[in-house]
Structure 1
Amino acid sequence: MTKKLIALVFLLSLFILIAMNWGNNEIRFPEKETITIQNLSEIPPSPGVDIYGLTTDNFEVLDDEIQRNESLYIVLNRNDVSPEKIFEIQQAAKGEVKLNRMMPGQKYRLYRDEEGVFAFVWHRTSTEFTTINWKDEITIENGEIPVETVIRTVSGTIHSSLASALMEQEISQKLVVELANIYAWTVDFYGLQMGDQFKAVYEDRYVNGEYIGIGKVRAAEFVHRGKELRAYFFDDGEQAGYYDNEGNSMRRVMMRVPFEYNPRISSSFSRNRYHPILKRNRPHYGTDYAAPTGTPILAAGDGIVTEAQRRGGNGNIVQIKHNSVYRTAYLHMSRFASGIRAGVRVKQGQVIGYVGQTGLATGPHLCYRLYKHDSPVNSVTYDFPPSEGLKDIYMDAYKTTMVRFDDMLNSLDAPEELAMN
């Protein structure tokens, strides 16, 4: 049978079929269903899902927080979860999350159905959480809650301290810490003067509409003793940090003060100082910072610990060789930080010990000593060279960032006027 004949037979059969059914409309083609508000409403809605990814329909949700001396076992057992199930959960959590790090005040959520509690959400931080679900099988997932960031600005004039100036405007004191960290190498915060001024562009952070604190400072200005110092945050993809208007790092090779906060200077660097215990004049090749016992002491720069021991009148002492030029010494510590010993490499800002009054000391303080080519120098007045600045390939992008934040800083009213609002 040829192809033409096959086609002719097919068409003849189709014609006969149509003719036989023409009168009773047997041949029907499916019609497309028109979607209306009425039939659309018949589509069942998706079950409600909360921010932790758990459905909330037909479940009871209980929110609470960890109390003193409470653990996961105590919380779940109080809510009728069997010891056997709690043990299974603890075993499943190994390698996923450290359940023994629950702290008083941390929030948690329980999910309960007609069979009892079947899931637990633990807020490890304000933005990080762990979900444990044992409804069918035990599953453990770590997650993060999205953070909303709002850019804020502030400026003020210092009458007594930076903390007081911010407190007057009901700004979180964490901003004091952030600004102190940015300018730690260039501004002596203990030596702030009345009339010094500041401006800052910073982030306020929110989770589910709840304020959780200050985030990153994006740009800042400090006018100290008539000198204006601006700093801008920039991330070049290799490293992130604060830089001045020429792209130089705000960090210095060495920290001027080895503390997170600038404590009070109780005794300054001197070539001839009267010693309160020895009762005679002698050189004091360091700066004494009065601080409560146990205050963390930071490494002033990257380097290798060359000494960490108790030594005579120096008490517990740590010495760090930073490079061929600089070394530092930290005297009268109450104790050393974990792992600090001779030969250990440390990073700038790492905790190396804690304030004390060991050796010849009349009260808790740190004697901080800086040596350049093994000669003592005054760390308070010494002009430290900056750390490595931005590479040329990033300068165009950095200048764009500067222009943006300069506009914001310049748009702020005079600090004195803002402080009174």
Structure 2
Amino acid sequence: MSRTLLIGFVCLLVALTVALLERPEKVEDLDEDIINAQNFYEIPPLPGKDIYGFITEGENIQIEESAIRRNESLYTILRKHDIDPQTIYNIQQKATGIINLRRMIPGQKYRIYKNEGEAFAMVWHQSKVNYAIINWLDDIHVETGMVPINKEEAKVTGVITSSLYETVVDAGVSRRLGAELADVFGWEIDFFGLRSGDHFKVIYENLYANGEYLGIGDIIAAEFQHRGRVYKAYYFENESRRGFFNENGDSMQKELLKAPFRYSQRISSNFSNSRFHPILNQRRPHYGTDYAAPTGTPIISVGEGVVIEAQRRGGNGNIVQIRHNNSYKTAYLHLNGFAPGIRQGAKVEQGQVIGYVGQTGLATGPHLCYRLYVDDRPVNSITVDLPAADSLEEKYYEEFRHVVDTLDSRLNELKLKPEIALN
């Protein structure tokens, strides 16, 4: 192409471009491109689905809910809905390794999905949360799932008149909150030595699934006044630490629990350097704390460690001794029997059942004599300060202080009932 032709071609392109830019626009030419109230059409919404993923909208979809009856099985349930035996057999084969369809228990809920009266799927609830989906519409699919759990914050206060658990129940709250409180403060407070007038404030969670109440969730913050002393606990969690801490950032968890029971037992005899022995009829040291409890009541290890003795020994009856570390050792006397696996050399975890209350040896009734030794010297387990787990690192302290300040203000808003408020 010559230089003259090239220049002419470029000029032609420029002229065409200018002509197009100067051409007046006509609205009618652009009507199809402009979105306005006249030509806007709303995108139809997706069909509604339930929490199990099934489309439930439409006149042809029916859902039948029921509960498993005595002697019912998957076969009898599906046959009632006209599912042929071969399909049921194929479902059972497909479910192998995914879910055990033979463990259907009376009372468990299920629902059958139908399209124009023909069943095509089933949801079986093993619990309020766990379920299995069986779908045989095109091919057979079996899968398991969990209903989303919703958390709702709740608050409660209470004043002890008898036991922690009775106070919690009287406040209209699940008894399990008492156990949760005992777990949080179990390293600080002897819940078997509570006094009338001790009181608490708690911010906690209630759990719901599919609108149905499941029970108590986590404690968020709590305050417990015991024998005039106030204990506080705050739940704190970040990428490195989680758990309950006091206002100073010290872990609420200790190496040893205050008492060897999960539930309240009455102290029948305290640690003493001179106590009158009811059988020997003489005064002698009592280097332990006696808990009166029914025969067979489970006894737990107050900390992890190694069993150094598990046998019957004279007036001590059946005894278990556990070495927790170089300094701490505990002993449990007069047991009715030992828990499975409890023998010399066995490792135990904190809270593990090690034996059961009895009255073997020199005992006038069923009880546990619990003894704590520090450097092989007996100490009063009720009054001794127990070693704590690691405190929060300094780099998390500012974040933790913000949590404490927020939760403290909310705890302070909780008031005891006027008729039982204490000074």
Distance in 1 (alpha carbons) for counterparts of 2:278 and 2:240: 50
Distance 1:304-1:100 versus aligned 2 partners, 3 A rule: farther
Is the contact made by 1:168 and 1:419 (CA closer than 8 Å) also made in structure 2?
A: no
State yes or no: 1:130 paired with 2:136: no
Deviations 1:314-356 (A, max 9, x none): 5554432211111223345555545544434332123334445
Within 5 A, what are the aligned runs for 1:175-324?
A: 175-270=177-272, 284-308=286-310, 317-324=319-326
Distance in 1 (alpha carbons) for counterparts of 2:315 and 2:76: 50
Give the drift of 1:313. Answer: 6.0
- Aligned partner letter, 1:243: F
* Identity score, percent: 50
- Aligned partner letter, 1:189: F
Distance in 1 (alpha carbons) for counterparts of 2:333 and 2:105: 34
Q: Which moved more, 1:389-398 or 1:259-268?
A: 259-268
Within 5 A, what are the aligned runs for 1:12-411?
A: 31-32=32-33, 40=41, 46-57=46-57, 58-66=60-68, 75-76=77-78, 85-86=87-88, 88-97=90-99, 105-113=107-115, 117-270=119-272, 284-308=286-310, 317-333=319-335, 336-356=338-358, 364-411=366-413
Give the drift of 1:209. Answer: 3.5
Q: TM-score normalized by structure 1?
A: 0.78
Is the contact made by 2:62 and 2:117 (CA closer than 8 Å) also made in structure 1?
A: no
Distance in 2 (alpha carbons) for counterparts of 1:72 and 1:339: 39
Distance 1:148-1:280 versus aligned 2 partners, 3 A rule: same
Distance in 1 (alpha carbons) for counterparts of 2:171 and 2:190: 23
Distance 1:104-1:61 versus aligned 2 partners, 3 A rule: same
Distance in 2 (alpha carbons) for counterparts of 1:411 and 1:118: 54
Distance in 2 (alpha carbons) for counterparts of 1:52 and 1:167: 35
Distance in 2 (alpha carbons) for counterparts of 1:205 and 1:350: 27
Distance in 1 (alpha carbons) for counterparts of 2:358 and 2:318: 9
Q: TM-score normalized by structure 2?
A: 0.77
Is the contact made by 2:163 and 2:264 (CA closer than 8 Å) also made in structure 1?
A: no
- Aligned partner letter, 2:46: S
Deviations 1:355-374 (A, max 9, x none): 45566656554333322223
Give the drift of 1:200. Answer: 1.5
Q: Which runs of 5+ in 1 are unaligned?
A: 16-27
Distance in 2 (alpha carbons) for counterparts of 1:321 and 1:78: 61
Distance in 2 (alpha carbons) for counterparts of 1:182 and 1:169: 19
Distance 1:123-1:296 versus aligned 2 partners, 3 A rule: farther
Give the drift of 1:174. Answer: 2.3
Distance in 2 (alpha carbons) for counterparts of 1:104 and 1:266: 45
Give the drift of 1:72. Answer: 5.0
| Structure 2 equivalent of residue 19 of structure 1 | none
Deviations 1:284-304 (A, max 9, x none): 543333334554432211212
SS of alignment partner, residue 46 of structure 1 = coil
Distance in 1 (alpha carbons) for counterparts of 2:357 and 2:38: 73
Distance in 2 (alpha carbons) for counterparts of 1:30 and 1:316: 95
SS of alignment partner, residue 181 of structure 1 = helix
Is the contact made by 1:147 and 1:205 (CA closer than 8 Å) also made in structure 2?
A: yes
Is the contact made by 1:156 and 1:418 (CA closer than 8 Å) also made in structure 2?
A: no
Is the contact made by 1:110 and 1:119 (CA closer than 8 Å) also made in structure 2?
A: yes
- Aligned partner letter, 1:120: M
SS of alignment partner, residue 411 of structure 2 = helix
Distance in 2 (alpha carbons) for counterparts of 1:266 and 1:117: 64
Question: How many aligned residue pairs are there?
Answer: 401
Distance in 1 (alpha carbons) for counterparts of 2:101 and 2:336: 32
Is the contact made by 2:192 and 2:264 (CA closer than 8 Å) also made in structure 1?
A: yes
Deviations 1:56-75 (A, max 9, x none): 35343232344567665665
Q: Which runs of 5+ in 2 are unaligned?
A: 17-28
Distance 1:294-1:131 versus aligned 2 partners, 3 A rule: farther
